[in-house]
């Protein structure tokens, strides 16, 4: 068995030096046109993680992001080397390196222990089926492959913070509960880059947003106004980067309606890029800057119910959009072809998604009830750990009464959903399946493999 030392403060500089050499080599090797800046941005982001990550403060769900595509001679060390960075409250923080187990066994064991001990499916948001190289279940992250570098921004929980009632059936199968929302009908790639002229960027916006635009007939069927559809779209494409997304408001940012104005002008007028850029009433260039970062390394998709979403490349027509209890983001699931021995439908985890009118609990609360509320990030110094929800300073602001709630159980109760038990730390919010069925939610079990 090889000698091994868990990462400590004294070993960070050695880890940093080794990973920096890998990043430097990648960033300075020949790159295709327009690719060098992208590589440098990736390296810069990963170096930022290395400089700011403190031993004893990390969660398992952060590891795949922090690791990037740093290389290890032994893929098991992508787990073992970072154990010293885990919070003491994290599952397996005291895991002892064991090189007698295979990489597949280690990754599957770690995932199953995290999920069962935390009663959470947050780890599923680190899974990405398209880049999986190991023979492991789709619900276990493949830490040997990097995730796309993105700037995901979430404000609330798609499942209303309800704790997962999941169970490990065997070493390959995980049973979870969730709500099937709709199927993906169309996937659209885009080529909006971080750099480029305003003219080129605006032309790209016109190209992709007008392809997403619904017909008059579709708007009628969905009972959406033009403005309402654009607001749904902007809740995703602006990724909560607007003034009202926080308390206190961030005055540096545009207001949400300014994003809506730009997207509505693009989708429902015939104006070209030059005409849009010349309009003083539209903040096209500032909107473009936000979109360049919010869309980075994501693909668009249209759902059968009209919603628009962003997900990693590799999602495809026929994939299911679902809201799983215990997951903060909606998840994309793919039906696995049935074999002769199968007696139940099996699903693979493709990746997480960001989808209009699903990110703030609408699948649980209902869209109409959520129209009177908005999720916010709490930035004021007056907010303390009594306002933390599952490690995040978030709240729900009721517009008419101008009241703020940071108690997800209270919100569920006010909306007529009985909560059996809630504790803030560690986060647990239990609602019975029969309670969700009684309010008309189509809750079903999924067997993930």
Between the CA of residue 255 and those of 36, 230, 313, 439, what are the distances in Å?
A: 33, 14, 29, 35
- Domain assignment present for residue 33? The answer is yes
Same domain, 321 and 286: no
**pLDDT (tens digit, 9 = 90+) per residue, 251-294?**
999 999 999 999 999 999 999 999 999 999 999 999 999 999 99
- Domain assignment present for residue 111? The answer is no
- Domain assignment present for residue 3? The answer is no
Q: Considering only CA atoms, which of 355, 404, 101, 321 is closest in space to residue 239? A: 355
First and final CA of the chain: distance in angstroms? Answer: 32
Residue 43 pLDDT > 80: no
What would the mean pLDDT of 348-358 be, rounded to a whole number?
96
Same domain, 390 and 442: yes
Q: How confident is the model at residue 29 (pLDDT cuts 50, 70, 90)?
A: very low
Same domain, 31 and 62: yes
- Domain assignment present for residue 368? The answer is yes
Strands 346-355 and 299-303, bridge-based pairing: unpaired
Instruction: Count the domains in the chain.
Output: 3
Same domain, 54 and 77: yes
Q: Considering only CA atoms, which of 112, 48, 110, 115 is closest in space to residue 79? A: 110
Please report the pLDDT score of residue 69 as a whole number: 67
Q: Which residues span the domain enclosing 437?
A: 175-183+302-448
Q: Which residues of 122-158 are buried (b: 16+ CB within 10 A; e: fewer)?
A: bbbbbbbbebbebebbbbbbbbbbbbbbbeeebbbbb
Same domain, 390 and 372: yes
Please report the pLDDT score of residue 277 as a whole number: 97
- Domain assignment present for residue 124? The answer is no
- Report how far residue 184's alpha carbon sits from residue 93's, in angstroms, rounded to the nearest whole number: 38
In this structure, what is the dihedral angle of CA atoms 257, 357, 389, 379, given to the nearest 10 degrees?
Answer: -10
Of 83, 105, 127, which residue constitutes the final position of a domain? 105
Q: How confident is the model at residue 44 (pLDDT cuts 50, 70, 90)?
A: low
Same domain, 336 and 247: no
Same domain, 213 and 341: no
Same domain, 238 and 278: yes
Please report the pLDDT score of residue 240 as a whole number: 87
Same domain, 323 and 179: yes
Same domain, 256 and 351: no
Please report the pLDDT score of residue 14 as a whole number: 47
What would the mean pLDDT of 144-150 be, rounded to a whole number?
88
Max mean pLDDT range (28-32, 302-306, 366-370, 377-381): 302-306
- Domain assignment present for residue 113? The answer is no
**pLDDT (tens digit, 9 = 90+) per residue, 285-297?**
999 999 999 999 9
Percent of the chain with pLDDT over 90: 67
**Structure tokens given for 55:** 């031993």
- Report how far residue 161's alpha carbon sits from residue 412's, in angstroms, rounded to the nearest whole number: 10
- Domain assignment present for residue 204? The answer is yes
Please report the pLDDT score of residue 308 as a whole number: 97
CB 328 within 8 Å of CB 125? yes
What would the mean pLDDT of 77-105 be, rounded to a whole number?
90
Of 239, 271, 294, which residue constitutes the final position of a domain? 294
- Domain assignment present for residue 68? The answer is yes
**Structure tokens given for 45:** 């982001």
Please report the pLDDT score of residue 16 as a whole number: 46
Q: What is the DSSP letter of 86?
A: B
Side-chain-side CA neighbours of residue 352 (13 Å): 26
Residue 119 pLDDT > 50: yes
Please report the pLDDT score of residue 36 as a whole number: 52
Q: Which residues contact 299 (CB under 8 A, 6 or more apart)?
A: 187, 188, 189, 190, 310, 311, 312, 313, 314, 315
Same domain, 325 and 440: yes
Peptide bond into 426 cis (omega under 30): yes
Between the CA of residue 76 and those of 67, 96, 142, 247, what are the distances in Å?
A: 13, 12, 11, 42
């Amino acid at each position: 068995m090889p000698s091994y030392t868990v990462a400590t403060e004294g070993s960070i500089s050695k880890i940093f030096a080794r990973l920096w050499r890998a990043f430097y080599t990648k960033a300075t090797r020949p790159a295709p046109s327009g690719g060098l800046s992208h590589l440098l941005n990736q390296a810069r982001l990963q170096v930022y993680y290395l400089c700011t990550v403190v031993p004893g403060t990390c969660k398992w769900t952060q590891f795949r992001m922090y690791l990037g595509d740093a290389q290890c001679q032994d893929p098991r060390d992508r787990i073992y080397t970072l154990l010293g960075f885990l919070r003491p409250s994290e599952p397996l923080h005291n895991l002892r390196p064991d090189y007698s187990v295979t990489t597949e066994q280690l990754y599957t064991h770690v995932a199953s222990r995290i999920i069962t001990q935390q009663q959470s499916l947050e780890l599923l948001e680190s899974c990405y089926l398209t880049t999986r190289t190991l023979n492991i279940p789709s619900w276990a992250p493949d830490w040997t492959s990097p995730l796309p570098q993105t700037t995901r921004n979430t404000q609330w929980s798609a499942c209303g913070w309800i704790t997962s009632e999941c169970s490990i059936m065997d070493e390959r199968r995980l049973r979870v509960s969730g709500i099937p929302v709709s199927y993906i009908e169309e996937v659209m790639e885009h080529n909006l880059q971080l750099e480029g002229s305003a003219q080129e960027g605006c032309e790209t916006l016109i190209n992709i947003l007008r392809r997403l635009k619904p017909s008059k007939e579709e708007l009628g069927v969905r009972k959406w106004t033009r403005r309402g559809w654009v607001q749904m779209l902007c809740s995703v494409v602006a990724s909560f980067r607007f003034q009202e997304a926080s308390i206190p408001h961030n005055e540096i940012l545009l207001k949400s309606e300014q994003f809506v104005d730009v997207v509505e002008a693009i989708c429902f007028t015939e104006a070209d890029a030059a005409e849009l850029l010349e309009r003083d009433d539209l903040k096209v260039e500032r909107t473009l800057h936000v979109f360049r970062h919010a869309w980075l390394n994501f693909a668009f998709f249209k759902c059968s119910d009209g919603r628009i979403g962003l997900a990693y490349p590799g999602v495809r027509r026929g994939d299911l959009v679902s809201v799983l209890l215990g997951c903060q983001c909606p998840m994309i699931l793919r039906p696995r072809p049935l074999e002769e021995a199968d007696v139940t439908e099996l699903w693979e985890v493709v990746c997480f998604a960001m989808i209009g009118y699903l990110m703030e609990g609408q699948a649980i609360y209902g869209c109409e009830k959520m129209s009177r509320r908005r999720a916010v990030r709490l930035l004021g110094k007056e907010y303390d750990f009594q306002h933390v929800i599952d490690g995040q300073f978030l709240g729900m602001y009721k517009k008419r009464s101008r009241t703020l709630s940071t108690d997800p159980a209270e919100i569920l109760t006010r909306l007529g959903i009985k909560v059996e038990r809630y504790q803030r730390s560690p986060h647990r919010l239990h609602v019975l399946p029969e309670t969700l069925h009684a309010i008309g939610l189509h809750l079903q079990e999924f067997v993930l493999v």
